[in-house]
Every structure is written in structure tokens, then in C-alpha cells.
Structure 1
Amino acid sequence: MKTNLISSLTGMRLTCVISNSAERRQMSDKYFLDSNIIIYAFGGDTRKKETAKSLLRSRPIISTQVINETVNVCFRKLKLPANEIFHLLNLLKSKCDIRQIDLGTIELAISVAEKYGYSYFDSLIIASSFEYNCPILYTEDMQHNQIIENRLRLINPFH
């Protein structure tokens, strides 16, 4: 069964077709990736690794926050040496559209946190997705299939 989501994004109408079973995006859609998806692209779980790598192939949008979170996990949890982290950073620079966070993004994140109850940092990811007109945010950490403000669908690609 297919579901159509029609969102209004800064004056344009965008239709995303999402299939119930795999929830695949159309190749032309912009989407935002959370740091947890990037970490899985380099992890040991084969199924999650392949899914995450496929999402990195279509030039996703990420923010400097996503890079910071990824680098932090690489240092603290994975204990990677700096040269490997630099390699990962260069890979992200070549594979992703990287956007800056500004004061407007922070203000929007505070509003999102208050309205939806997400942590500030998750709300900052949502706010960044809004600001760059991404109709889809791939994340493992938030409520799967939730629609925020009738313009952003949260999708757990491993669900």
C-alpha cells in the first residue's frame, strides 16, 4: 500500500511517495541524515551498514552538528585515531552537502523542542532539516514515521 505525503515547502508543493514496507524515497528528493546513520555506514552490522551506505550515495544534506556528533563518536566510543577521523571527514565532504547552523536554526530548534518534546540536539537536527527544505529526515533516534509541521517525515531506515 502506498501513501502520498504532500508538503508545502516555502511556496512549492512537493510530493513524496513512501512505500509502507521499505519507505523508500524518490531519488530526486532531498533528505537529511542524522549522525547515527553515518556511524552505521562504517559499523559492523552488515544490514544497517548497507542501508546507511546507500543513503550516503545520493548526496544527502547534513549539518556541521552532524559532523561534530560523528567525530565525537569516532573519538570517544570507537577510539579511532585522528588520521582515520580525517579520512572520514574528507569522505563526508565529498559525499554530502554540508550546511552551517546559524542563530535562526537555534531559535527554531528551541521552538521544536518545546512543541514536540525532543531533546535540544534532536530538535536542532529537525530545525536544520526544515531550513534546508528536506521533506525526509533519516534517523534511528526519533519516532519512526512521525510527521513534523506537515513538512518533515522522520524515517528510521532500519525499521
Structure 2
Amino acid sequence: MPGSFFDSNILLYSASSDDDKADRAEALIVRGGTVSAQVLNEVANVARRKMHLTWVETRDLLLPFRKLLTITPVTEAIHNHGLRLAERHGFAIYDSMIVAAAIAAHCDTLWSEDMHHDLTVESVLTIRNPFA
């Protein structure tokens, strides 16, 4: 069943001081969707390194995402597909792993602020910037 997949930047914007972006991100997230374990790891990294959150605050930040969204692992097959996508489309490696995970999860939309807005990958997944 088609659905939404979220890049880490969308999850992080839901906690942003930019009210417009926070509201838009939150409205998308509460509708549900999918993230990969990699996305949660990226959010945790930013929470600790850039937002200077404690471990408790970091876990609290991640908890709603873990409850609202389906979490998919990054498998060897996703890794291999991600490498092919990076080569074919020029994606950064971590971005290509997110695209591959979204395709593997049968999502039709990948919400991301910093990937190629309106690019359709393999005729099944369209990257959309919710702030464009």
C-alpha cells in the first residue's frame, strides 16, 4: 500500500522553533508513514550533537516518531540498492539509502527538504519538499 516515507530533516523540523515548518512537518507525520532505522539514528545524532539534548531528551524526542511511524531496517538488499541509486542519480550515500528504504517499504512519497524536489525514482517514488 502506497504511503509516506520521512527523511530525518522532516522529523527534526517538527521540533523546530520555526512554527510554520514545525506545524507543516507535524501535520504530515501525524498522518503516519514509514522511516528507516537510519532516519531515527540521524535524528538522534542531530539531537545530541547540534541540539545538545540529553540522552533522556533525545529518547523523548524519538518516542512519538517510534509510536506514529512504521520503522523499517536497513538490510543488505537496501544497502546494495542504495549504492546503485547513488551511482545512477548522484545522491549522497546516506540519502540513497533512505530512497532505497522508501522504495523497499512500498512508499510512493519521500518527504525531504534537501533532496531533488519532484524527482520520481524508478517510476514508484516521488521526492517532495513539503516547504517548497
Same fold (TM over 0.5): yes
Does residue 146 of the first structure (1) align with residue 119 of the second (2)? yes
Total equivalences in the alignment: 132
Q: Deviation per CA, 1:26-52, whole angstroms, max 9, x where unpaired?
A: xxx511000000000001111100000
- Find the aligned partners of 1:47 and 1:90 in 2 and give their Cα distance: 22
- The partner residue of 1:69 within 25, 42, 48 is 42
Q: Secondary structure at 2:127's aligned position in 1?
A: strand
Q: Secondary structure at 1:107's aligned position in 2?
A: helix
Q: Which has the higher helix share?
A: 2
Listed as ranges, the gaps of 5+ residues in structure 1 are: 1-13, 15-28
Q: Secondary structure at 1:49's aligned position in 2?
A: helix
Q: Secondary structure at 1:48's aligned position in 2?
A: helix
Counterpart position of 1:87? 60
CA drift of 1:66 comes to 0.3
Counterpart position of 1:34? 7
- Following TM superposition, the consecutive aligned residue runs of length 4 or more in structure 1 with deviations greater than 4 angstroms are none
Q: Secondary structure at 1:122's aligned position in 2?
A: helix
CA drift of 1:90 comes to 1.8
- Find the aligned partners of 2:36 and 2:46 in 1 and give their Cα distance: 16
Q: Secondary structure at 1:61's aligned position in 2?
A: strand
Q: Secondary structure at 2:100's aligned position in 1?
A: helix
* Paired residue type of 2:46: V
Identity rate of aligned residues, in percent? 32
- Root-mean-square deviation (Å): 1.0
Q: Which has the higher strand share?
A: 1
- Find the aligned partners of 1:41 and 1:60 in 2 and give their Cα distance: 15
Q: Which has the higher contact order (CA 8 A, sep 6+)?
A: 2
Counterpart position of 2:22? 49
Q: Secondary structure at 1:144's aligned position in 2?
A: coil
- Find the aligned partners of 2:113 and 2:62 in 1 and give their Cα distance: 21
TM-score by length of 1: 0.81
Counterpart position of 2:89? 116
Listed as ranges, the gaps of 5+ residues in structure 2 are: none
Which structure has the larger Rg over C-alpha atoms?
A: 1
TM-score by length of 2: 0.97
- Find the aligned partners of 1:100 and 1:55 in 2 and give their Cα distance: 21
